[in-house]
């Protein structure tokens, strides 16, 4: 479903600040596969997601989604097939618009936006039932401004928004990193449920080794813009967080992890 071949991303090319964010990545996700991506800061995790979504230009390689080569597609065009949830809960919705208006924007993703009323009755009913599934009581507040909600509530709604319109691929960029532990757990559980219900091919970047092993069926570790570990099935089932940390240490030449605590949580 997602196919990345020889991807290379370079920032500030041709300047003294030139930085190779992704040196060379080959990665293929089968339909319905749920892959978690880990790596230290600067490993290229978020850049990989941004490249697939079309936010950053690629310096080399091809990206295909659902068999279509999308390397030259603008982000808006890719959004027909790709849904996203950002790390910053404020980034995924409009604070000044009502909850239902945000949902309407997401519901029209991938369609031709025309003159039809954005908040038609049928849509409102769909929103109500989808939001009610969250169990947060937000279905009675659909007319409220998005900005009145907590980060966790907004992130939960961002996941609903990402799964409102049909899409093939879901990209999650450390979408629980900014939440308190209880809300993060809630959002993770919601992620599991929605991905399963909509059979989405999912790529989830995370800082947490625990999350990386708990969710999905395959884990990829990036380091300095390359894939240094790609495990699935039994090999992955036998891995513990400690194993991953040890692996991390090895690739970094034995240097201790400055963010051990965060990674293993």
Partner 1 sequence: MSAIAFWGAVELGLVYAFVAVGVFIAFRVLSFPDLTVDGSFPLGAAVAAVMITAGLDPWLACLAAALAGAAAGLVTAFLNVRFGILNLLASILTMIALFSINLRVMGRPNVALVNRPTVLTPFYDLGLADHLVRPLLLLVLVIATVALVARFLASDFGLAMRATGQNPRMALANGIDTGRQVYVGMGLSNALVGLGGALFAQVAGFADVTAGVGTIIVGLAAVIVGETLLRARGMLVALAACVAGSVLYRIAVQLALSSDAIGLTASDLNLATAVLVTIALVLPRLRARGLAWRSRPT
List contacts with partner 1 (CB under 8 A).
53, 55, 74-77, 79-80, 84, 86, 91-98, 101, 104-106, 108-111, 113-119, 145, 161
Beta carbons of 228 and 221 less than 8 angstroms apart: yes
CB atoms under 10 Å from CB of 100, counted, come to 21
Q: How far is the CB of 176 from partner 1 (least distance, A)?
A: 18
Residues 97 and 34 sit within 8 Å (Cβ to Cβ) = no
Contacts of 255 (CB under 8 A, 6+ apart): 249
Please, what is the minimum distance in Å from the beta carbon of residue 95 to partner 1?
7
* Shortest distance in whole angstroms from residue 142 CB to partner 1: 13
Query: Tokens 């570990």, residue?
Result: 229
Residue 183 Cβ, how far from partner 1 at the closest point, in Å?
20
Residue closer to partner 1 (CB basis): 104 or 229: 104
Nearer to partner 1, 96 or 234 (CB): 96
User: Toward partner 1, which CB reaches closer, 88 or 139?
Assistant: 88
Angle at 200 between CA 196 and CA 201, to 5 degrees: 120
Give least dist CB 78 to partner 1, A.
8
Q: Considering the complex, state which of residue 101 and residue 215 has its C-beta at the smaller distance from partner 1.
A: 101
Query: CA triplet 222, 209, 44: central angle to 5 degrees?
Result: 25
With beta carbons less than 8 A apart as the criterion, state whether 163 and 74 touch. no
| Per-residue buried b or exposed e for 199-226, using 16+ beta carbons within 10 Å of the residue's own CB | ebbbbbbbbbbebbbebbebbbbbbbbb
Q: Min. distance of Cβ 94 from partner 1 in angstroms?
A: 4
Residue closer to partner 1 (CB basis): 106 or 222: 106
Residue position matching structure tokens 């690629």: 58
Taking the least distance from each CB to partner 1, the nearer of 90 and 228 is: 90
Kindly state the smallest distance separating residue 133's Cβ from partner 1, in Å.
21
Tokens (6 digits) for 203:
């790529």
User: In angstroms, how far is the first alpha carbon of the chain from the final one?
Assistant: 31
């Amino acid at each position: 479903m997602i196919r990345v071949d020889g991807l290379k991303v370079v920032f500030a090319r041709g300047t003294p600040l030139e930085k190779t964010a992704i040196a060379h990545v080959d990665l293929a996700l089968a339909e319905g596969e749920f892959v978690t991506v880990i790596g230290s800061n600067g490993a290229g995790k978020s850049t990989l997601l941004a490249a697939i979504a079309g936010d950053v230009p690629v310096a080399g390689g091809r990206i295909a989604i659902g068999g279509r080569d999308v390397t030259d597609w603008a982000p808006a065009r890719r959004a027909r097939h790709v849904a996203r949830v950002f790390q910053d809960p404020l980034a995924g919705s409009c604070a000044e618009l009502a909850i239902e208006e945000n949902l309407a924007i997401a519901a029209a993703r991938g369609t031709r936006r025309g003159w039809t009323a954005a908040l038609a009755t049928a849509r409102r009913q769909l929103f109500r039932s989808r939001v009610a599934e969250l169990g947060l009581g937000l279905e009675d507040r659909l007319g409220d401004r998005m900005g009145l909600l907590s980060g966790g509530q907004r992130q939960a709604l961002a996941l609903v928004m990402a799964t409102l319109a049909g899409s093939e691929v879901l990209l999650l960029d450390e979408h629980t990193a900014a939440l308190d532990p209880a809300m993060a757990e809630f959002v993770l559980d919601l992620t599991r449920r929605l991905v399963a219900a909509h059979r989405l091919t999912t790529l989830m970047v995370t800082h947490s080794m625990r999350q990386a092993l708990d969710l999905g069926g395959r884990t990829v570790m990036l380091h300095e813009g390359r894939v240094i570990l790609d495990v699935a099935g039994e090999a992955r089932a036998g891995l513990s967080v400690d194993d991953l940390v040890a692996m991390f240490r090895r690739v970094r030449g034995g240097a201790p992890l400055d963010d051990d605590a965060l990674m293993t949580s």
